[in-house]
Chains A and B, each alone.
Chain A
Amino acid sequence: MLRIFLRRLLILVPTALFGSILIFALVQVIPGGAAETIAGDDSSPETIARIRAQLGLDRPLHEQYVQWLTDALQGDFGRSLLDNRQIGADIAERLPHTLELAITALVIALLIGIPLGIASAIYRRSVLEGAITSLSGLALAVPEFWMAMVSINLFAIKLAWFPATGLEPWSAGWDNHINSMVMPALTLSSGAAAVVTRFTRSGMIGALDSHYIRTARSVGLSPARIYLQFAFKNALVPVVTVVGIVAGSLIGGAVLVEQVFVIPGLGAMLVNGVLQKDYPTVQSVALVLTIAVILINLIVDMACLVLDPRTRN
């Protein structure tokens, strides 16, 4: 087990490093960077050079990269160009919100997608399957933030069932917190739920058609037992795989949903950083989000191995 874990890590660590290099390089490439911004109006080249030296920007690129990375791994992400606050502190405050949103959306996607996928596999060529397939196709085609806008209008403004905005923190009461989470998480989960449905369906069909299921059926095992014990477990493997793929799009989707629902998460921080050209913030948040996605993939890979030994080779 450990060996396999290490092997997987061996693949993902270079991914993370590659990602960090990409993010770092992209931002350093720009002309008129941090030093010019801090120096401000009408600064002489001498002042800018002095600030560059202070920030360590005159050192060779690979040295800067290593410094940046080691600092980041210790939690020091530097300061925002805009308000000079510690980026690390803001990230620590906002990361839980984004994670909570994405993970809740993932859980909802699984809770909706797996049953629907199984149903559409078992009741193949029925109206139910047609409906589920159409619905999942629709969910894949709808932009999440548009769905968010429409549902705000309907459920928050017209019907006043849920708050239109923001995340109530836990301190406001767990019921208020959950109430404010419902719409954002549901809208974010729609695309992922559709993907999970489809993958579960094809995994289930594959399992149901497989040789040993037919054998089990001919031997006379009850359908329920067949479905639950054999087919379901095997159908789960592609699902677990797809969670890894879906994780990336959930994080991306969270960025959009956070804008619409005014949730103080990392997505909002990233977008604001981009619009304000606050490069240190953009670098840091992009790095953290990428690593989050990679970690989710790692966990998913591990879950895959635990669930089905056959994937170990």
Chain B
Amino acid sequence: MLVGSRVIAIALLSTALLQPGAGFADARNNVLTIGLATEPFTLYPAMGVGGTDYPYLYSLFARLLTFDPKSLEPRPGLAESWEFSPDKRALKLKLRENLTFQDGTTLDAEAVKASLMNFKEHGRVQDLEVVEAIDVIDPRTLVVKLDRPYSPMTAILADRAGMIISSTALKAAGKDFDRKPIGAGPFMIKNWTSGSNMELVRFPNYYDKDSIKLSGIVFKFIANAPSLASAALSGQVDYAFGLDPKNLPALKANPRLRVAIEPSLSLNQIGIHLGYPPMDNVLVRRAVSMSIDREALRDVILGKDVGEGPTANMVPPTQAFKSSPQFPASIKYDPAKAKQLLAEAGFPNGITLKICASNGGVGTGTDVTDIEREQMRPAGITLDVVVMNSSACLQAYNLRREFQLWQGGWSGRPHRFMTYSQYFGTNGQYNKAKTRFPGVDEALEKIAATDDPEQQESLFADLDRIWVEQMPVAPLFWRPNFSAYSSQIAGETPNAQGKPDPTSIYFIANEKKK
């Protein structure tokens, strides 16, 4: 009678007995399975803007320069040496010998120039706008000429702009280059199934191939937090990145996992649209900033005392790039004062502000706005929250000016200078209304013209002070990266930027055999 159900029950039990959670995690074939929350829009470095794209990009592309994971100082990449001219307006780079792209074509100075010029002309991020011209001296040497002294250029060439692509492949592939890019990195793209996974295989002629132990990488896109955590718990992935800290206790309790809280430049913030009144009024901005209890937020979202703490500035205190220490904790939760500022600004009866939030990230959704709403109430600020997907939120906020505020994050820039110039400089790409903040442009120019660390420090300290007064953005708290590694792997090199490069990881058992 219950034959049907019995058959089903047996079938179910037998599938359950098949290795639970084996998935792709495949030590025998030396393929690393990585679980992460965000899938890139595009793998073409010039076209992408996401701070979460880096695990993919670092695997696929080689950069002109790299950086030391701890100090973020520039290190050789495709270029084995480099030299600034005394006036910092020209950067000479010498490439290694016998470099090739993943399609076999030669990677020489001409190819590098083509890639850089392509980024300058078509890139979504204007990192190369200071480049005036590029001169090719010989097949292994080129000089990048800048329109002004610009010491951060070495950091920029260690980022997206320095990811050298094959221009011949770009021409041939056209729009397909987004999904099937050709670079010179340690791994090549094999397959990308949207919404599911991305498979990479080893590039045998990578210039530093001896340091790469894996034969392949599989990225699995797991968009919700409990699923990512349970993928780590069940061994479905070897390495889970970008975990929700709420799940850390369960992960720590699992003996097959190593849990790591890793440094990053990331922070959670409330973006402020300077072009949408009344956010152009500095008193209103300061009021918003003062009506948030950052520490309470951090405790709820990350856990008590996790991470570097609440902040009012954009650059974390951990690394070589520090915001001056006296500023980050300087803004206290003071709704009464905020109310006063609002009254001074012309809003004695309070104000309603529209904010866009997205669920799915850590601290960018209603989990945060629900708390903020209550915190802001005594200051007379009413938060009108609309929930959208994160990319839709950004579009609505940036392009269509539908929101005064944006609940988001900041993943940091390779050089602290870029953060300030992009948010604070009059022509910065995040300064939507081209607001001129007093003294900022001058300070930025001076910083770019020098690489004397002491001089830079005092100039940055000035900027930090002006930042706290002007509040172009309301940073909330630093957010470290939460990762879980299977005990079978080792070799990870978390870097201070918080953008992981998974290519150094290896399987312990496989290395022992050698």
Contact = CB atoms under 8 A, between A and B. Distances in A.
* A/B contact in complex, CB under 8 angstroms: yes
Contacts of B12: 182
A237 to B, nearest CB: 19
A163 B222 contact: no
Contacts of B20: 160-163, 179
A209 interface: no
Interface string B393-434: 001001111000000000000000000000000000000000
Most-contacted residue by chain B among A116, A161, A272 (CB, 10 A): A161
Interface in B367-403: 387-389, 391-392, 395, 398-401
B1 A156 contact: no
A162 to B, nearest CB: 7
Contact of A40 (B21, B191, B388, B400): B400
B400 A276 contact: no
Interface stretch (B80-88, B225-233, B343-351): B225-233
Given A163-B23, A163-B234, A182-B15, A264 B388 contact: no
Interface in A146-177: 152, 156-157, 160-169, 171-172, 175-176
Interface string A264-287: 100010001001111000000000
A111 B194 CA distance: 32
B227 A160 contact: no
B137 interface: no
Nearest to B218: A172
Contact of A262 (B194, B222, B391): B222
A208 to B, nearest CB: 15
Contacts of A116: 2, 4-5
A163 B231 contact: yes
Contact of A115 (B3, B16, B223, B226): B3
A264 B195 CA distance: 5
Interface residues of B, number: 46
B193 interface: yes
A52 interface: no
Interface in B11-46: 12, 15-16, 18, 20-24, 41
Given A41-B399, A83-B41, A272-B389, A90 B194 contact: yes
Contacts of B94: none
B236 interface: yes
Contacts of A239: none
Contacts of A152: 226-227, 230
B196 interface: yes
A157 B232 CA distance: 10
A172 B24 contact: yes
Given A82-B395, A182-B12, A264 B389 contact: no
Contacts of A114: 4
